[in-house]
Amino acid sequence: MASVKNIKKDIDYLVDEVISDSLLCISMQPVKNKENFVEIINQTVEMRNNLISRVNSAPRTAKRAETKAYYKAIYDELISNADTSFDKLSKLIESK
């Protein structure tokens, strides 16, 4: 199992990547599409806050296997949501 510190770093890294790509797209795209990119940023920040909260409130008395499964579920959700956000960005860029 990765440490809690590393899980939080991974969450922050992927969220930062999505946000920086969104901001880059905002600067390159016309102003009329700005709301769509801002929506992606807001959803990503909400996801980050939710995942960090779940990491901080992990069950401490659970068995090792249960704890590993709990963190794996959080990590899988992170990857899934980041992939979805990047797909949304790609679709917005392609629609131009």
- Encode pLDDT of 2-15 as tens digits: 688 999 999 999 99
Q: What is the pLDDT of residues 24-77, one digit of tens each?
A: 988 887 767 788 889 999 999 999 999 999 999 988 877 888 888 899 999 999
| pTM for the predicted model, two decimal places | 0.87
pLDDT for position 64: 85
> What angle do helix axes 34-56 and 64-94 make, rounded to 10 degrees?
180
Whether residue 86 contacts residue 18, with contact meaning beta carbons closer than 8 Å, is answered with yes
Q: How many residues does the chain have?
A: 96
